[in-house]
Structure 1
Amino acid sequence: MGEQAENLNYDCNYNMFLAKIMLSNLTRTEDRQRAVKWMKKLTTCNRSIEEMKLRNDFMYYLVINIQQGELQPPFTENPPTAQLPNIAHLLPGGIAEVEVDEFGDQQPSQATKPMLYENSPDGGAFLAAQPVPRCGAFCYLAVVARDPKHE
């Protein structure tokens, strides 16, 4: 896996460190216990680069939740015993429905994608990885240069 795996593990370990030192921000004992269960689960998610990237997305959102002092979905439930699902389907404002493809993998339903995801060059992958505010507004602005030959 090489250097990319090392970088992903470094990021995960750093977020794990942050989560541990801020754990006292969670006032409810059940929330602290659930956060620890999630941290233990996430430490086992390292079989592939893609799984490590997904693990780091979960770690990032877990740190944000702990920092805010309140767990939000998907962290309000115990971690799954199987592989981690795509985080976009679990976060508030994420894609609500999924379809199962011929391999049994969950895929976002094309009919339920928000217009912003449909028009995004990466299919909304960047937006799905951004924090969603509990109140207020989320603003996204992108400036891109397109090759005039491809227009």
Structure 2
Amino acid sequence: MNQLSQIMSNISTQANRFAGKPDAINSEFLYYSSVLKVLAPALTGESDRKMIIPWVRKLFRPEYHSSQFREKRNKYLLFLTITLLNDESYGIFRTFPPEKAIPDIESIHHEPIPAAEWENDEMWRETLLGLPDTFQSLICTVHDTPSACAADHKLDTILDQEFQFFLYLARPYAAMLNNPDDRTRIAAWLQTLCTIHGDFCSSMRAIRNDYMMALLGYIHDLRVTGPFKEYPPWSSLPPLAEAARLAAETKPLTDPTGPDASEFLATQPVPEDGAFCYIAITGDLISSSFGPM
């Protein structure tokens, strides 16, 4: 294992420890950590790899896990991830990080750089062009009034860029799913998520990206679970946490007769003698431990 691989492996372990209470910012941090663990050691240029090492160490320092700097840290990690997709570093990442606090990323003078492959990907546009004329758009599930929805557009650009990046990463894995029914459902989810654009508010775009990040995490492992076991809703898209809770109630992972248990058992080696033992553990302590015998 080379030096950068070792550093990323150690920092990945640190990331899980510092993540603490799960929230959207920490989920993004863990995602960028896992992506950088793959991209950084694979850089072709030796000088690029050496320059990335101090930046990785800087961004993963304990102070950047504090509430004051977490958002700034994530912006740098997103910028770093995007630049590494072109197999080289750009701009500020060609210099050593400052000894003091890193500047706000908005204040940095950015060199003109060639567009990454994901930025030129046409899947989003082609999906929208392929919608039937009878397609009905989803409604906003965040704001109570049209005026409040219309005022919420400050983060449109960055959220759309993030979604296009996730969409580009998801496409090859969606095509590799073994189950044709899963491929069809995931295609429907991607189509539905693509339709949240244009006049949709930033809050709905953020919900869309939450779904996209979760979907990418599942299909990266070539499996489909949670709310993605069903087709997407046709009228409104609830927050991901609400959809995940409903999916867990209707199709609990602890059901030994459910598809998740069957998929798990199907991947296990078949013993010549003996039998499988499947144990399902639930977090519902009261009903599971003190229910009627």
TM range (shorter): 0.5 to 0.7
Does the C-alpha gap of structure 1 residues 3 and 142 become closer, same or farther in structure 2, counting only changes over 3 Å?
Answer: farther
Normalised TM-score (structure 2): 0.31
- The equivalent residue for 1:75 is 93
CA RMSD of aligned residues (A): 3.1
Superposed, which structure 2 residues align to 1:2-151 within 5 Å?
A: 6-44=23-61, 45-48=64-67, 50-90=68-108, 92=110, 122=154, 127=157, 143=199
Structure 1 residue 142: Cα displacement: 5.1
- Could you tell me which amino acid in structure 1 is paired with residue 33 of structure 2? M
Question: Do 1:16 and 1:39's aligned partners in 2 also have CA atoms closer than 8 Å?
Answer: no
- The equivalent residue for 1:98 is none
Q: Which has the higher contact order (CA 8 A, sep 6+)?
A: 1
- Could you tell me which amino acid in structure 1 is paired with residue 50 of structure 2? Q
Gaps of 5+ in 2: 1-19, 112-152, 163-196, 202-293
Whole-angstrom CA distance in 1 between matches of 2:82 and 2:98: 20
- Could you tell me which amino acid in structure 2 is paired with residue 143 of structure 1? D
Identity of aligned residues (%): 22
Residues 20-66 of structure 1 show CA distances to partners (whole Å, capped at 9, x for unaligned) of: 21124422212112212111111111222x41001000001111111
Q: Secondary structure at the match of 1:53?
A: helix
Whole-angstrom CA distance in 1 between matches of 2:89 and 2:83: 5
Whole-angstrom CA distance in 2 between matches of 1:77 and 1:126: 30
Q: Secondary structure at the match of 2:91?
A: coil
Does the C-alpha gap of structure 1 residues 66 and 144 become closer, same or farther in structure 2, counting only changes over 3 Å?
Answer: closer
Whole-angstrom CA distance in 2 between matches of 1:11 and 1:128: 14
Does the C-alpha gap of structure 1 residues 142 and 92 become closer, same or farther in structure 2, counting only changes over 3 Å?
Answer: farther
Question: Do 1:26 and 1:32's aligned partners in 2 also have CA atoms closer than 8 Å?
Answer: yes
Instruction: Give 1 or 2: higher helix fraction.
Output: 2
How many pairs does the alignment contain?
106
